[in-house]
Amino acid sequence: MNTKFSYYLELAARWHVFILLSIYGSGKLLGGQFYRKGNLPEEIAKISLSEVGGFDLAWTFMGYSYSYILFIGTSQLVGAFLLLFRKTKLIGVIILLPILINIIVFDTIFLETYGALASAIVYFLLLLYILWYNKKNIVMLMKAPIVKDSSGQKMNNNLSRKLVKISLVFGVMMLIFGMEQLIVNYLGH
């Protein structure tokens, strides 16, 4: 693939995900997503719990805790914002991948239409492209030279490398958590 084209495709992927996930994150924080506690739509509030559809039940459950909404919305905004900058884009990807996996799983299980699922899959694939495009940098960061301090302990010679490694570990942990939740939800509680 043409290097210049690949560069612009990666840049477009970052901006696209930034714009759309910023909208979704802001929507969560401003009350545009989820049925909030004390503010259920009248038609949902009148239905008995056993008759509520999967989407409405999940939307109500997720809207029950403002702390949860704040965490998800802020995480989407922070991750999306980090995509804008060359030095922080990989941290943004690491933050957003588990969020998108959760959205994909949620949409697959609870939604009756699949437009939102298709969008989440596109964002997920764009993040994977960003990782693929930056694979040389990722490998280089993982092979960062290690030096010994005066006590003989190994340490990285660059704080940013440590942060990237910590972010990668955190990202993998979130991926494992997402997969665990998928299994738990599939098998039941």
Q: What is the pLDDT of residue 1?
A: 61
Q: What is the pLDDT of residue 130?
A: 94
**Across the chain, what does the average pLDDT equal?**
81
Q: Please, are residues 84 and 13 in contact by the beta-carbon 8 Å criterion? A: no
pLDDT at 173 over 90: no
- pLDDT, one tens digit per residue, over 109-168 is 887 777 788 889 999 999 999 999 998 887 777 776 655 555 655 554 566 666 667 777
> What are the distances in angstroms from CA 30 to CA 10, 37, 95, 124?
30, 14, 21, 24
pLDDT at 19 over 60: yes
Residue 52 Cα to chain centre, angstroms = 28
Strand partners, 148: 154
Residue 149 tokens read as 């301090």
The DSSP string of 138-180 is HHHHHT--EEE-TTS-EEES-HHHHHHHHHHHHHHHHHHHHHH
Non-local CB neighbours of 108 within 8 Å, separated by 6+ positions? 117
User: Phi, psi at residue 149, to the nearest 5°?
Assistant: -80, -175
Q: How many Cβ atoms from other residues are within 10 Å of residue 165's Cβ?
A: 14
- For the chain, strand residue ranges (E) read 146-148, 154-156
